[in-house]
Copies of this chain bind each other. A is one copy, B any other.
Amino acid sequence: MPAHLTLEDIGRLAGVSRSTVSRVVNQQANVNPAVRDRVEEVIKRTGYAPNRAARSLVSGRSGIIGLVIPSRVHTVFDDPYFPRLIQGISSAANETRTTLSLFLFQSEREEEELYPRIITSGYLDGLIVTATRMADPLLAQLSSGDLPVVVVGRPDVDGVSYVDADNRNGGALAADHLCGLGYQRIGLLGAPTSTTAGVDRTTGFVEGLARNGRALDPRLRVDGDFTDSGGYAAMEQLIEQRPDAVFVASDTMAHGALRALRGAGLSVPDDLALISFDGFPASETSQPPLTVIHQPATRAGEEALHLLNALIAGAEPPLKKILPVDLVVRDSTEPRQP
């Protein structure tokens, strides 16, 4: 038995031609049921699987899509967001029989060397790119090509398909919640404004305050960098301004902020209330459990793959999908007695 069985081999064993075996494998009509059964029996017996390279050479499809995580994303290893996103993409990929290739760039050099050949070598049917910053050069390079692309997170250019959480509404919900509870000196520990997520969460928060007749005191705003230690440092600064409630734009930063608060001997929510954005499991077991704006990260991954599949199937870009977020009240916020 040869290392690799071919259509021809199966045909010989079943007493039919290559073409007929191909038709059986691809579930096409116009095959005599008896013949089909015979061929399928041989395939099952021999464990034949079609050669993907040959198939993709002629069909122009590889069945492989790429997930690109740019070099600027330093938080891949510490933010629970990415594992969840990947899990969602992978789950949808398994369902649709597509293979997921992962391109994790850890330096700009890697990115510059590898990225161009990834998008031109033609062995990817499509690409999912996690957008992280405004004016992302990765997106610019793509616009010329004809490779289907879906961005996770709102890109700052038009005409690109994307899926995103409703960051803006999330920010507004956080403001509503805090205002409704009666907090007075409401602060913001924001996400970097170099990212659209950061911009949107902040914008939404400010809008939310406004519709409650409030404005954000600039002194009560410090931006973090999506990391735990960034949240810690930002909260240390914020404390000095004595806010009574703070919206932290990500769970990871919120955990850092919590540490800063404990370090300063402040208790949550008595001295300072906290509401965070993300709502990953760790926010349930922190002390105290955090009130959060929950975003469906896994589902974002699934939706990204679905949009991409639609694009590959011929849908006209841009396709867009905004996923709802929702408020989950826990112990880090509570009604304020004036």
Contact = CB atoms under 8 A, between A and B. Distances in A.
A145 to B, nearest CB: 9
Contacts of A82: 83
Contact of A47 (B101, B116, B256): B116
Contacts of A91: 104, 106
A105 B94 contact: yes
Interface string A259-283: 1001000000000000000000110
A4 B58 CA distance: 13
A51 interface: yes
A228 to B, nearest CB: 6
Nearest to A91: B106
A78 B283 CA distance: 12
Interface string A227-239: 0110010000000
B104 A86 contact: yes
Interface stretch (A118-126, A127-135, A307-315): A118-126
A64 interface: yes
A335 B323 CA distance: 53
A114 interface: yes
A181 interface: no
Interface of A: 3-4, 47-54, 56-57, 62, 64, 76-78, 80, 82-84, 86-87, 90-91, 94, 99-106, 110, 114, 116-117, 120-123, 146, 228-229, 232, 256, 259, 262, 281-282, 285, 287
Leading 6 A-B pairs by shortest Cβ distance: A52-B123, A90-B104, A49-B120, A53-B57, A53-B56, A49-B121
